[in-house]
Amino acid sequence: MNLLFAFFISFFLSEPIAVLKEFSTHKIDTVKTVSAVKTQYLAIDAKRKIFSQYSAPAKESGSAYFGYYEGTKLRMINANFYTDSSKVEADEYLNEMGSIILVYAKNSNYETKLSINPRTKINSMTENWFYFNNEVLIKWVRGGKVVPSGLAEFKQMGAALRADFPKHKKQFVDFASLQKIR
């Protein structure tokens, strides 16, 4: 009994956050949580035009980041990534505590490379909606279809988004490095 207890305690102490997040994905009412996220998203998006807007210095070629603030609270990050043949526009929405609740990403692929034809048309476009609870991906809608949460792709995408978000948010920590747009 003591050995089992010791294993149990060591397991939880070594990965407490991951374990709690894993358990939390199984105990939530996804429909209710997604509905609450949509309500928060709509409230943030409605205020987008009155938020203070700052741009972060570009750390990578072909990227641009914009932070939207309600007072001193970062409420949204707009990230744009460009290559010669595609563009990704992502809006990351944050709740009152600064945790990610929703990511909307639009992936566009061009007919030809921009370096060959700067006025090229979009060949294909995919919209992705990522819903989070406690910064854990709980629902993914790609091109209007729900991606099943049991797929390895779903889990990989959740891990990738969770890894990228702190990098995006970190760019808006130091106000001195930001340029105010409005």
Give yes or no for residue 8 having a pLDDT over 60: no
Give yes or no for residue 14 having a pLDDT over 90: no
Instruction: State the pLDDT at residue 164.
Output: 87
Residue 144 lies in a domain: yes
Higher pLDDT, 25 or 44: 44
Phi/psi of residue 153, nearest 5 degrees: -60, -40
Residues 94-147: tens digit of each pLDDT: 999 999 999 999 999 999 888 888 888 999 999 999 999 999 999 999 999 999
Largest CA distance in the chain: 70
Residue 134 lies in a domain: yes
Q: How confident is the model at residue 175 (pLDDT cuts 50, 70, 90)?
A: low
Higher pLDDT, 10 or 134: 134
Residue 135 lies in a domain: yes
Number of domains in the chain: 1
Residue 126 DSSP SS3: strand
CA 50 – CA 30 distance, rounded (Å): 31
Instruction: State the pLDDT at residue 176.
Output: 64
Residue 96 lies in a domain: yes
Helix (H) / strand (E) element for 17: namely: helix 16-27
70: Cα separation from own chain's centroid = 18
CA 117 – CA 136 distance, rounded (Å): 40
**Which of 19-28, 86-95, 115-124, 144-153 has the least mean pLDDT?**
19-28
Q: Are 37 and 95 in contact (CB under 8 A)?
A: no
Residue 172 lies in a domain: yes
CA 153 – CA 155 distance, rounded (Å): 5
Give yes or no for residue 173 having a pLDDT over 70: yes
Give yes or no for residue 179 having a pLDDT over 90: no
Residue 9 lies in a domain: no
Domain membership of residue 63 as a residue range: 29-180
CA 46 – CA 144 distance, rounded (Å): 23
CA 105 – CA 8 distance, rounded (Å): 40
Place of tokens 């309500």: 39
Rounded to two decimals, what is the model's pTM?
A: 0.78
Tokens of 93: 């929405």
Residue 5 lies in a domain: no
Among 61-65, 100-104, 177-181, top mean pLDDT goes to 100-104
Residue 1 lies in a domain: no
> What mean pLDDT do residues 43-70 have?
88
